[in-house]
Structure 1
């Protein structure tokens, strides 16, 4: 049974991906700092689908994250799929925020992805897939309410395309999806404080994102960046 790791796997997009990978026959390992939600998701997958494990970790602690990825591989088997889902955005936007606060967003959205790539590729003894969850916020040149979030998500796009040739030499594919609004606990909280006219009529589901993750795994292409705005069909960013 192949081993898959999902950061931010306790809820939202990460949970949806973990469930789908378990349904596809993967042994899934969830990494998240939310202990209660992580244990609940683990137990649900174990009971209803197949083997799942949960590991409590603040992924912004890069040393701890790296050691954990190695430990999971050592104890549960070489990694076949690694999904960088963990991410988020603060309430106060750059530049009207202290350095230690905006830098936390960069740590969470970019540095953890870089650490996940670096650590997981070492544990993919037979090749594998690394999949990053970016955001539509990182696409294009239009203004955005949270510049620090948009910038960190844009960096993931360029990171994916710039490192793909290096990773494929190790039989590792790397691809990224940039979704618009997805129905998650975090986005529901955000939408509660928005004008209803600003909210798209259609909201993507975690299952939609999980479907694209499987598309990456089943495809032989690498370096893809798929943009999926909630009211449009997904397309590859050139």
Structure 2
């Protein structure tokens, strides 16, 4: 069996304490990468890093607000200084605010754009000099939301559409520098935003059943399902793949 090998390089994960980001961090470490777990919640990021270290890996937790371009640049520099040459970047930091377009507040809209779009741009831009030095890979976190209309999800849909377009633009621009850029688009994931919705729901079991039924495979993605795709795209097994969008959606988009 061919094993994914990320040894000898650093993978930086923004949103690294979230359900998908932490799964990516752990799997990247299992594949041999040193991992910078970056999140606004430093304590949670450091817990993930400690889990990696306790299993023999190399990792550090870092506090970063991806909406702050200067802070992102500083964290990239610190990560490389402490953990070695950068091999990959995963932009898993994300924010969801729901509400009808007619009444969604400007603040909620701006916050989603600041984290999901600006945050992705800041991380990609800051990583370019380090990835350019050795060649490397960027995986941005998208969503099936980029392709569909959904009640009360217009802001999030817009932000994920922008992330996908940014990924395509970056892939074309950075390919001559040896940097690959791809986007992973999950359907409903059993973690993160879904768990928030379940906690807020009057009938969480009905919501869970409805979410599972949206996917022809009959379940939501586990965070590890998404991480599997991300880590593969980071690896040399995907060396001729750039500018692609990979659906990890259990068949969700077949119906659209």
TM-score, with length taken from structure 1:
0.91
Deviation at 1:49, TM superposition (A): 3.6
Deviation at 1:94, TM superposition (A): 3.6
The question of 1:78 aligning with 2:85 is answered: yes
The question of 1:199 aligning with 2:211 is answered: yes
| Aligned 8 A contact 2:36 2:61 in 1 | yes
The question of 1:228 aligning with 2:248 is answered: yes
**Corresponding residue for 1:59?**
66
SS at match of 2:123: helix
Q: Output the CA distance in 2 between the equivalents of 1:92 and 1:42.
A: 35
- Structure 1 or 2: larger helix share? 2
Q: Output the CA distance in 1 between the equivalents of 2:248 and 2:12.
A: 23
The question of 1:172 aligning with 2:192 is answered: no
| Runs (5+) with no aligned partner, structure 2 | 1-7, 213-217
2:16 maps to which of 3, 9, 13: 9
| Aligned 8 A contact 1:21 1:28 in 2 | yes
**Corresponding residue for 2:5?**
none
Q: Output the CA distance in 2 between the equivalents of 1:230 and 1:166.
A: 31
- Where in structure 1 do 4 or more consecutive aligned residues deviate above 6 Å? none
Q: Output the CA distance in 1 between the equivalents of 2:41 and 2:249.
A: 28
**Corresponding residue for 1:138?**
146
Deviation at 1:76, TM superposition (A): 2.5
2:76 maps to which of 69, 86, 91: 69
- Aligned residue pairs, count: 233
Deviation at 1:71, TM superposition (A): 2.3
Q: Output the CA distance in 1 between the equivalents of 2:135 and 2:93.
A: 23
Deviation at 1:6, TM superposition (A): 0.2
The question of 1:100 aligning with 2:107 is answered: yes
| Runs (5+) with no aligned partner, structure 1 | none
Farther-moved stretch of structure 1 (158-167 vs 47-56): 158-167
